[in-house]
Amino acid sequence: MSRTPHRNLWWLAIALTLLLNGCGFHLQTGASIPPRLVGLRVAGTGPSGGTLAQAVDRALQRRGNHAQSGGPLLRIDHAYVGQRIISISPGSGVALEFLDTLHAEISVVGSDHKVLLAPQPLLVENSFSYNSGNPLATNEQQITSQRLLMEQGARQILRRVLNSPDFRQPVP
C-alpha cells in the first residue's frame, strides 16, 4: 500500500510534464551565441556607453562568449540616461517618483567593417520612488535604479542581437 502514493505522485509528475510541454511551456534558457557572433566584442560611446557595454559583456560571458580580437563588434553608440520627475508631493512640493530613460543606438559590424546588423535605437525606461523620510536611502535607490536600468538594457540588446534573423541563418 505504501507504494501507491509514490506511484500516483510519479504519474502526476509525468502527466504535468506532458501537459506543460504540450501547451508550449518551456523553462527560460539563455539564447545560445549564433556561430557568426562567436567572439563578439562590445564597445560603447556616450556618457553611459561604457557602463552599458560592461553589462552586455558580463551577460555574454555568462552565456559562454569570450571576446576575441578578430571577432565581430557590437557597437553601443550615443548611450545616455535621462531622468525626469513624474510625481510631486502636493503638500511639500518634493519630487516623489522619477522616470529613468536609457537611450542608445546598437549595431553589429564584422571584423571586415561590414555592417552585420544595421543601427537601431534602444529605449529602456524604469521608474523609482523617492523616500522623503530617508534622503540617504534615495541615493542608494538611484544607484540601484541605474544598475537595474543597465541590466535591463543589456538583456534587451542581447535579445535583439542574439535572436536576430540575420544571425540565425547559416553563413552563405
Closest CA to 119 of 135, 102, 130, 104: 104
Question: Which CATH number, 2.60.40.420, 3.20.20.70, 3.30.160.150, 3.40.718.10, labels domain 34-168?
Answer: 3.30.160.150
> Which position has the grid cell 500516483?
8
Supply the pLDDT for residue 143.
Answer: 82
- In which band, very low, low, confident or very high, does the pLDDT at 136 lie, cut at 50, 70 and 90? low
pLDDT tens figures, 18-46: 666 655 544 444 558 888 899 999 999 99
Which residue has better confidence, 29 or 169? 169
pLDDT band at 82 (very low <50, low <70, confident <90, very high): very high
**Residue 124 buriedness (CB in 10 A; 0-12 / 13-18 / 19+):** buried
Kindly report the average pLDDT of the chain as a whole number: 84
130 pLDDT higher than 80: no
**Is the pLDDT assigned to residue 156 strictly greater than 70?**
yes
* Sequence-distant (≥ 6) Cβ neighbours of residue 71 within 8 angstroms: 37, 38, 39, 40, 41, 111
* Section 80-98 average pLDDT: 86
Over residues 62-70, the mean pLDDT reads: 92
